[in-house]
């Protein structure tokens, strides 16, 4: 007999098939996400903090390969790979020094719908454009971040490719190298997720009922595994589940910085206050159990902010009054460009050309650069450095 409950599975299957159709359409012809970004010489110079003349001189004297060939009289611009090579040759890489501790940032809030995965992916791609080596770890079995990186968690990702073989009660992997996947960005790698990662929650919860020593060991194990991997990166971004489960607890302990996205609505504000209160209690319990938790920074960032909505302005004022300097001053604006890009399973940083009007795209990109640049500055401050001044800024200062 066909039960109403069985419709849930049918709906899920229909949805999965549609996701795969969307993915194939978005990533044709090779059905795998590609990166066709190009940066003009002026934008390249701005990103490197140097003059266009310096780039041209390096191309003329052979330190850099010749400029990209003209296409109908116009240079097509530099690829991300070429930009990274420019940074190496011209000494403009922002990479951390050997003794600097890699930033391991958990992007966390127990309230769903705050743009957690959207913030994580845009932050990863922003940092990639700036020249950092980034690892993104999708710890959420809903796998939104994995999807935005061009993988279909249902069809493309096996349980053995997630954190599961490392964190399960009967682990089959001793380190996390097995799970690292290349992405279309040459300086961004991903550890993907899928629905089967949720099995870890069941296993660890059952094991935890026997005294919690297994849980404590798993928490330390994730921290150690990520610390080993982080040696090859500047910044690691963790996207945990939007709930207080064993994986979220492990992520909280593995991170050395915390970023909390929240939307400018009263329910989001109230929920985030509860999240912070719960975090405080849980961290106290973890420390009481001998599990250390320490962050170089804790910041909240207002996401999906509509500057034309008076209620958003009021809630943001309440946030500022409550959280003070812990709230980053520049919010991420609610932009149609972000929504349009997400429909194509992309971030704004991956778009070759505007989807909406050029003005909307430019305003959105400028806001993202400023908002996400705040987090870059916090990371650099942790390394005892600030973002280097450009040649142009130094000349003006003189």
Q: Please report the pLDDT score of residue 397 as a whole number.
A: 44
Per-residue pLDDT reduced to its tens digit, 62-88: 999 988 777 676 778 899 999 999 999
Q: Please report the pLDDT score of residue 203 as a whole number.
A: 83
For 178, 205, 254, the CA distances from 174, given in Å and listed in that order, are 9, 21, 17
Per-residue pLDDT reduced to its tens digit, 88-116: 999 999 999 989 999 999 999 887 777 88
Q: Please report the pLDDT score of residue 13 as a whole number.
A: 74
Q: With respect to CATH, is domain 103-397 assigned 3.30.499.10?
A: no
Element (DSSP H or E) covering residue 86: helix 80-90
345 near 26, Cβ under 8 Å?
yes
Torsion angle, CA of 22/27/31/35, rounded to 10 degrees?
-150
Per-residue pLDDT reduced to its tens digit, 129-188: 999 999 999 999 999 999 889 888 888 899 999 999 999 888 999 999 999 999 999 999
C-alpha–C-alpha distance, residues 250 and 204, integer Å? 11
Ranges of the chain whose pLDDT falls below 50: 1, 28-31, 393-398
Q: Please report the pLDDT score of residue 234 as a whole number.
A: 98
26 token code pair: 């978005």
Q: Please report the pLDDT score of residue 19 as a whole number.
A: 66
Residues of the chain with CATH 3.40.50.300: 103-397
Q: Please report the pLDDT score of residue 1 as a whole number.
A: 47
For 219, 250, 253, the CA distances from 216, given in Å and listed in that order, are 5, 9, 10
Residues pairing with 301 in the sheet: 261
103 token code pair: 């930033």
Q: Please report the pLDDT score of residue 280 as a whole number.
A: 86
Q: Name the pTM for this structure.
A: 0.89
Q: Please report the pLDDT score of residue 258 as a whole number.
A: 93
Q: Please report the pLDDT score of residue 267 as a whole number.
A: 87
């Amino acid at each position: 007999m066909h039960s109403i409950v069985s419709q849930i599975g049918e709906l899920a299957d229909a949805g999965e098939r549609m996701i795969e159709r969307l993915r194939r359409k978005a990533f044709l012809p090779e059905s795998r996400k590609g990166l066709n970004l190009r940066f003009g010489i002026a934008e390249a110079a701005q990103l490197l903090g140097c003059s266009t003349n310096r780039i041209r001189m390096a191309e003329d004297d052979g330190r850099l390969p010749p400029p990209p060939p003209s296409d109908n009289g116009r240079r097509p611009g530099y690829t991300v790979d070429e930009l990274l090579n420019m940074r190496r040759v011209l000494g403009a890489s922002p990479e951390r020094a050997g003794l600097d501790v890699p930033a391991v940032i958990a992007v966390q809030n127990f309230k769903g719908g705050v743009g957690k995965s959207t913030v994580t992916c845009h932050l990863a791609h922003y940092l990639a454009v700036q020249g950092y080596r980034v690892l993104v770890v999708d710890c959420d079995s809903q796998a939104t971040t994995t999807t935005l990186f061009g993988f279909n968690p249902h069809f493309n990702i096996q349980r053995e490719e997630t954190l599961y073989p490392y964190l399960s009660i009967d682990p089959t992997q001793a380190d996390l190298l097995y799970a690292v996947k290349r992405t279309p960005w040459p300086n961004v790698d991903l550890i993907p997720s899928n629905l089967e990662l949720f099995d870890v929650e069941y296993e660890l919860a059952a094991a935890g009922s026997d005294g919690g020593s297994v849980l404590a060991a798993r928490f330390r194990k994730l921290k150690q595994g990520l610390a080993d991997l982080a040696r090859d990166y500047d910044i690691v971004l963790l996207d945990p589940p939007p709930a207080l489960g064993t994986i979220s607890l492990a992520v909280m302990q593995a991170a050395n910085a915390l970023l909390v996205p929240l939307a400018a609505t009263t329910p989001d504000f109230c929920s985030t206050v509860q999240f912070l209160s719960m975090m405080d209690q849980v961290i106290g319990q973890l420390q009481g159990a001998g599990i250390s938790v320490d962050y170089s920074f804790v910041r909240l960032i207002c996401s999906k902010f509509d500057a034309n909505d008076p209620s958003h302005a009021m809630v943001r004022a309440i946030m500022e009054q409550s959280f003070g300097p812990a709230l980053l001053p520049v919010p991420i604006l609610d932009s149609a460009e972000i929504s349009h890009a997400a429909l194509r399973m992309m971030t704004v940083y991956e778009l070759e050309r505007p989807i909406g009007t050029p003005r909307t795209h430019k305003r959105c990109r400028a806001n993202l650069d400023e908002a996400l640049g705040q987090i870059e500055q916090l990371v650099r401050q942790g390394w005892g450095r600030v973002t280097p001044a450009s040649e142009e800024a130094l000349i003006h200062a003189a």
